[in-house]
């Protein structure tokens, strides 16, 4: 099912009502969130310790993304969630903490048995499926998935035009892949093959920019970033 706009239906009034100021705050928070992801990746690369995905990390990155935008920044959603533009109905709020724990356990238990792309795709899909926040689910799932991808690789993925940025510039293929995973997966047998294929395409694009930068005098501005 193709979707042009898949988003969480808001049940709370916006903290910032001016569209321009809200967009500026979203952009600023998104850069801060991604910088935090890079810091976490660097810690893993520097310390050489096994990575463990924890609910506290998910809450931390959501808090950064939604600071000043949502009164529930850094907290699980207080009520039901409705995703407009999607057939998926997220689980009840009371189930969220347990499902997040299960997701983290799955990633940690399968850390060596799954590839970086498989783990990334699973987190990106499952966190969206649980939809644990009142807002900011997509940007947080992409941040956590990219964190898992790079930590499984052991360092930052080189190149600009990162995977989260590519998704932000055109979300339709990403939404379509999420819908395919929703329809194909069960709790016991996740099927994120469509999302894995899409991620391979994004990763290849990012790596191409690393090669371009290595052979090009005119390197693009690293401050020109968009992640939400």
| Structure confidence at residue 50 (pLDDT) | 83
State the pLDDT at residue 186. 86
Q: Determine how many CB atoms are found less than 10 A away from the CB of residue 115.
A: 12
Distance of CA 4 to the CA centre of its chain: 18
Q: What angle do CA 126, 195, 112 make, to 5 degrees?
A: 70
Contact 69, 25 (CB under 8 A): yes
Q: Which of 139, 184, 190 is nearest to 164 (CA)?
A: 139
Residue 87 CB partners (closer than 8 Å, separation 6+):
1, 179, 182, 183
What is the pLDDT, as a whole number, of residue 17? Answer: 85
Q: What is the CATH number of domain 7-215?
A: 1.10.3290.10
Q: How do the pLDDT tens digits run along the chain, 228 residues long?
A: 344 567 666 567 788 889 999 999 999 999 999 999 999 999 999 988 889 999 999 999 999 999 999 999 999 999 999 888 888 999 999 999 999 999 999 999 999 999 999 999 999 999 999 999 999 999 999 999 999 999 999 999 999 999 999 999 999 999 999 999 999 998 789 999 999 999 999 999 999 999 998 998 665 655 556 655
Q: What pLDDT shows up at residue 2?
A: 40
pLDDT at residue 218, as a whole number: 66
* Rounded distance between C-alpha atoms, residue 178 and residue 195, angstroms: 7
DSSP string, 72-118: TTTS--SS---EET-S--PPPGGGHHHHHHHHHHHHHHTTTTS-HHH
The domain segmentation of the chain, as residue ranges, is 7-215
Model pLDDT, residue 102: 97
């Amino acid at each position: 099912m193709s979707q042009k706009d898949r988003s969480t239906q808001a049940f709370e009034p916006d903290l910032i009502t001016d569209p321009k100021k809200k967009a500026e705050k979203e952009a600023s928070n998104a850069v801060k969130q991604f910088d935090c992801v890079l810091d976490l990746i660097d810690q893993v690369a520097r310390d050489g310790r096994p990575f463990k995905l924890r609910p506290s990390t998910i809450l931390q990155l959501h808090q950064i993304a939604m600071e000043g935008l949502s009164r529930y920044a850094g907290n699980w959603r207080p009520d039901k969630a409705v995703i407009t533009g999607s057939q998926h109905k997220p689980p009840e709020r009371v189930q969220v903490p347990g499902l997040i724990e299960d997701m983290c356990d799955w990633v940690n238990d399968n850390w060596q048995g799954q590839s970086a792309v498989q783990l990334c795709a699973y987190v990106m899909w499952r966190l969206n499926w649980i939809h644990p926040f009142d807002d900011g689910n997509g940007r947080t799932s992409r941040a956590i998935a990219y964190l898992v991808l790079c930590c499984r690789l052991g360092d930052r993925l080189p190149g600009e035009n990162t995977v989260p940025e590519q998704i932000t510039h055109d979300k339709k293929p990403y939404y379509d892949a999420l819908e395919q995973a929703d329809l194909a997966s069960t709790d016991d047998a996740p099927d994120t093959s469509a999302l894995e294929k899409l991620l391979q395409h994004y990763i290849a694009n990012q790596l191409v920019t690393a090669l371009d930068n290595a052979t090009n005098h005119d390197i693009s501005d690293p401050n020109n970033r968009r992640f939400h």
